[in-house]
Amino acid sequence: MAEQAHAQRFEELALPHLDAAYNLARWLTRNDHDAHDVVQEAYLRAFKFFGGFHGDNARSWLLAIVRNTCYTWLQQNRGFQANVSLDELLDAGEADAVLAAAEPSEEGPEKLMRREDDKAMLNRALERLPEEFREAIVLKELEDLSYREIAAVTGVPLGTVMSRLSRARKLLSKHLQEFVQES
């Protein structure tokens, strides 16, 4: 009975963050299939050590496990570089939004096409960021974590988080300007 309560509590606290876990793993591994594997491994680890979780922020705790699992996976597979198509950059939730955007709306086709071009350009710019900068941007801008939560997930001081975000934003802006000039 205690095991069932343990499993139920884990499901209640951890499963709502499955999308955030996948998103972080996807951006760190740069591969959809590998991200699924990493998240599965991370959730198994999280469940195994869930008895030691006594905090109130399961999301940060879980994302830290996902992050560590990603880096372990990357070390074991460091020679592997995935070629990622732009289609693969869209996760299932984003694909639905793209399909919905393609349906007739008040916006004209030019505006919709520009929006998709902008999104693809942003994804390419994010891919070009060094890993620690991409990680910080994903956690802050895509997962909406606070600076303190990012520090907890990454295990770095708050000042380092702020510095990485600042540098990441500047580098992201530079990459976007380069892409605009190229097109």
Residue-level pLDDT at 84: 36
Residue-level pLDDT at 181: 85
pLDDT in tens, 2-15: 788 878 888 989 99
Domains of the chain (ranges; CATH) run: 1-84 (1.10.1740.10)
Structural tokens at position 165: 């975000």
A 10 A CB-CB count for 140 gives 19
Residue-level pLDDT at 76: 87
pLDDT in tens, 105-130: 455 666 666 767 777 888 888 889 99
Mean pLDDT of the chain: 81
Residue 29 has pLDDT above 50, yes or no: yes
Residue-level pLDDT at 86: 34
Confidence band of 24 (pLDDT split at 50, 70, 90): very high
Quick one: CA dihedral 73, 74, 77, 83, positive or negative?
Answer: positive
- Give the position of tokens 């070009």: 128
pLDDT in tens, 146-163: 999 999 999 999 999 999
List, in order, residues 6 or more apart from 132 with CB less than 8 Å away. 154, 164
pLDDT in tens, 32-75: 999 999 999 999 999 998 888 887 788 999 999 999 999 999 88
Residue-level pLDDT at 113: 66
